[in-house]
Structure 1
Amino acid sequence: MLAQEVIRRKRDGLALSEAEIDMFVAGLVSGAWSEGQCAAMAMAILLRGMSAKETVALTKAMTRSGQVMDWSGLDLSGPVLDKHSSGGVGDKVSLMLAPIVAACGGYVPMVSGRGLGHTGGTLDKLESIPGYQIAPDTELLRKTVQTAGCAIVGQSADLAPADRRLYAIRDVTATVESMALITASILSKKLAAGLQGLVMDVKVGNGAFASTMEQARELAHSLVHVANGAGLPTRAWITDMNQVLGDSCGNALEVREAVEFLAGARQEPRLLEVTLALGTELLQLGGLAKDGDHGLRLAGDALHSGRALQHFGRMVHALGGPADFCERYTSYLSAAPVQQIVKAPRAGWVQAMQTRDIGLIVIALGGGRQRVIDRIDARVGLSNMVQLGQHVEVGDTLAVVHAADASAALEAQQNLLGLIEIGDQPVTPRSPMVERVGNGAEAALRLNW
């Protein structure tokens, strides 16, 4: 069977057989499929789509392309849980949620990824911490989860290796938005991580891959159905991404915000609401909370007591970072040499922002990749971001640009002014929690794995 013939079948809108999908995945791992062939297949899948049966086959093949973690030998005292986001601008929820759940008795082996398209990547953020190992060996990963309660890491070479290659290809070939590829990519890693519960954060809006509720619902239901059918209890929340989440976007800047969030010094309300809501779902899925109110109290106490910050610090140190990172994070996180305030050109209320384009500004500053081989500048990005509904006067701060040089800062400043709309009418901020996809789908599909 020739690779080009398999690509041709999908290009022409035909359903692929399990054998053809297995061949594609095997080619990803072995290198038998070239970069061009893998990119062509990704584009054909994006344009032609995949049926539920094809998506299940792709997820299964990618899961078994490497090892599946087994936590039974560690005698953990709580459930193995995780959360995943479909990607957004300023979305640093994972950095706080993993230690919050750990502080409540869960264990979180969070396999995360790098930035895709206009969105930031959790691994890119954590690499701004000196010494932090995003790719520990299995022994160190297991030890970190056991002692710190959480470990946010990248894919090891033998964990869903097919996804590792496809993930990088999607980022630079405009194929990030494929529902089938998103579902298979996310769930292959989560199933391989040996989880007992998963909550999905599916973003919707002008800064999300799913710009409409129809797309977001399609992705949320796809993830919930396939995961639960595979025996992994999963729920999803559709959350708003029509503005930057939190008040910063950029790698080191977001780590700083996360530490200050965990320390109670800086908790942007929308970011707090999303983090606690997703944490509540995980605690219920893992049997650590009897209902939503109980889960919210547990998550809130873990955060406000400082226990979650302690777990974050333990994780950073266990994975090679400084032992005193949480106490001296400003000394360890590099700062951009140029910081430029973007001032409001008029008075009024912030009506809207073009969130995707704001994410692209961060990439243009050097905070993301335009090619697979690009190096990221962890220092750059935006901070002090204005929020929708906020009233500003002329000269008030809309954001602060953090750049490597003055010309880049000026370009970002000029571009950002065109992406934030200020009007004369007040705007009532909406909850970021849009819709829940839960129990009704959990028993809807049972797959033969």
Structure 2
Amino acid sequence: MTDFGGVLDLKIAYVNATFFTLDKDNLIFENGMMITEDNSISYIGQQLSELIDVEQIVDLKGKWVLPGLVNTHSHILMTLLRGKGDDMLLKPWLETKIWPLEQQYTTEIASVSAQLGILEMLKTGTTTFSDMFNPNGIDSDEIMESILSTGIRGAFSHTIFSMGSQIEQKRNLVEAERFAKKYKRVADGRLTTMVSPHSPYACRTEALLESLRIAKENELMVHTHVSETENEVYEIEKRYGVRPVEYLRSLGIFNQPTIMAHGVVLNDEEREILKHYDVRVAHNPISNLKLGSGIADIVSLLDSGIKVGIATDSVASNNNLDMFEEMRVAALLQKGMYKDATKLPAEKTLALATRIGAEAIGMGNTGSLEVGKKADFITIYPYDKEHLQPISAAYSHLLYAAHGNDICDVYIDGKNIVKDRVCLTIDEEKVIAEANRLQGKLVC
């Protein structure tokens, strides 16, 4: 087993810190303690006077500790496309910029892009992600191996398209099924995959039905883009006579656990359908704004009892993977849209980016600091940061003032992945140099 900078299978006590559990009770332990054992949390609470069988004590020196953030929808292979196709609407952006550029990818370009994206995620506090990648022209096994080596947790999913010839479409589905079977559980469950038909507009009915079959046979979630723009809804209505949510429901897609990215254009009837089938939504506020797609009504989704996670989408439409910024924008948009400052308060928004987001992508064994959950956590040292003062308003600062660059340390499965803002599992200097070298090969 690879040691990602931590001591494996030891009973470790983390002391002298403020722990924000972000569990259902939103417990906070000042001068608290957390004990991890076998990659999971075995104790969280006030400082214990006696430590039994603890093999290592880590003094966190007053840091804030919270669960690792959960990014419920991303495209890390698009990291090298940051800054490409700015200021465009979704459809022309995809068809004239993003998809043509992805056609030029090699395995080397895709691997470096993935490493760069994960490096950014880790150093800004994301410990779990759910990603869709375009498999065109790359060795997906090699990419998955490079992801495994970073220590991150998540789901990396082969996107299914209905593009090109019938032979190409068949090859795409065969490869998607092979990938699903091989990677549905790897690294002791730290990484998995989902079945990811791109969208109702980029997949024919037979491709969606095949996606459903693959998901059912492999007991995997479905991850897809749905109702991102008004034009998309119009196109699907014109093509099939119903809106996207009803179309997918009629095919039986929602009989399988599903997370849909975006959900910007939804009505009350569609929210009822999503609630009935326990369909989860990955909310991408900054990407939706930048692409001019609109503002998703997250308050109505939550009021309907639908699980919602926060997400960044790709850096080609964001342009960063900072979940703190994403959370803040998500909360402020709902307050502004409703003209009601009580909407999406700090506690709820932080939960969407941690515990509820983890539940939304089927990884409820992380997302909060609770006994039995995985030891995935991040730290912030607030005392030398002007924007995190006064210290007494810490909970507010985590949403309204903090940003990804405030992260000091990142632990996943109890292993130290980022220490004092240095990633221990990725050669940062090499990846950045290679990213700039390879980006010049992409021309559109």
Please give the TM-score of this superposition, normalised by the length of structure 2: 0.28
Higher strand share: 2
Higher helix share: 1
Please give the TM-score of this superposition, normalised by the length of structure 1: 0.28
